Every structure is written in C-alpha cells, then in structure tokens.
Amino acid sequence: MNRLYFNMIAATVTLVAVLVLSPSARADDPPGGVQPLLHEISSPAPTNLEELVLKSSSFESVEGFASYYARKFEGRRTSSGQRYNPEKMTGAHQSLPLGTVVRVVNPVSKQEVSVTINDRCAPKSFHFIDLSRAAAKKIGLWGKGKIRVVITPLLEEDLEEPA
C-alpha cells in the first residue's frame, strides 16, 4: 500500500516538473526550448506491452501472474465480508486496498478485464492476483491454471461508464 502512495507522489512531482519546465508555462523561455529536448530524449516507439501499460493509470503497473479461484470457494466469505460469486468481476490481491479496481491485461492476447479487489491471497515473492471465474474467462485464463499478466490499479476517472 505504501508503494501506491509513493507512486502517486512521484507522479504528482513529475507532473509539476513538466508544468514548471514547459515553454507554455514560462514566458521567459525561448521558443522551442525544453520541448525539443524532451522529444529527443524520449524512447522509440513503444512495444506491445509498453502500449498496454501506457494506456493505464498513473499508478504503477506491474507484471505478474494471475490464476483463478477454485470451485470450492463459491459462496464463502471473502476478506471484505462479501460472499464469493464466480460470475462477478472480482479478485484477490495480497496488498492492494480492498475495493480497489484494477485492470488485468493478458499481454499475449491483449484481452483485459477490470476487477474489484475484495479478498486477500497468500503472500508471494512475486506480483500475483487471483481472479473470479468470469474474469478469468474474459482474459483467456480459464483452463490454463496461471498466466503472465499486467496488473494496473485504476483511478476512479479512468473507469469506463457501463453501457
């Protein structure tokens, strides 16, 4: 949880630095001052995985593994007090705050799903998320055991309105 707050502060500092150094923000800078330098420093075209991460929120995206809940957990209470429903878009994570919405992307197939963290999973030495059956099916995980994914906590304004 501390990492999320640190990343939020880092993103704010970066934004402030860009605003302070931007030519439009400083009238005394010569035209074409800082922006061309930033363009020269920027990296070449992003890879597929980088594109997926770039369209995510300003919170840190992490690469990790995803699996799904076993059938025996259906109806049992989660850490949030809700009962596990395999048809809802929910997940378990070891450290993200309960109620956090995260985007989980399968970088191979580019399938993605947004799930709400409502449970905890066992601590692991690598990033890990446990998904409901419906979420696992949506990203092509169902029947595979576990796959590599990109996990990104979302800001409220990043959430899409339901149709």
pLDDT at 61: 85
Per-residue pLDDT of 132-157, as tens digits, reads 999 999 999 988 889 999 999 987 54
Amino acid at 64: G
Residue whose C-alpha is closest to residue 92's, from 111, 108, 110, 76:
76
Helix residue ranges, H only, 2-156: 2-21, 34-41, 48-54, 133-138
Q: What is the pLDDT of residues 9-64, one digit of tens each?
A: 555 555 444 444 444 444 444 454 444 444 444 445 555 555 544 544 446 788 99
Q: Which contacts (CB < 8 Å, 24+ apart) does range 140-144 have?
A: 140/106, 140/108, 140/109, 140/111, 141/66, 141/67, 141/68, 141/106, 142/68
State the Cα–Cα distance between residues 94 and 112, nearest whole angstrom: 20
Lowest pLDDT segment from 22-31, 82-91, 93-102, 104-113: 22-31
- pTM > 0.85: no
159 contact partners, CB below 8 Å, separation of at least 6: 101, 114
Run of H or E residues at 106: strand 101-106
Angle at 153 (CA atoms; ends 150, 154), nearest 5 degrees:
120
Look at residue 131 in the predicted model and tell me its pLDDT: 95
Looking at 42-51, 71-80, 93-102, 113-122, which range is the least confident one? 42-51
**Within a 13 Å sphere around the CA of 146, how many CA atoms are in the beta-carbon half?**
10
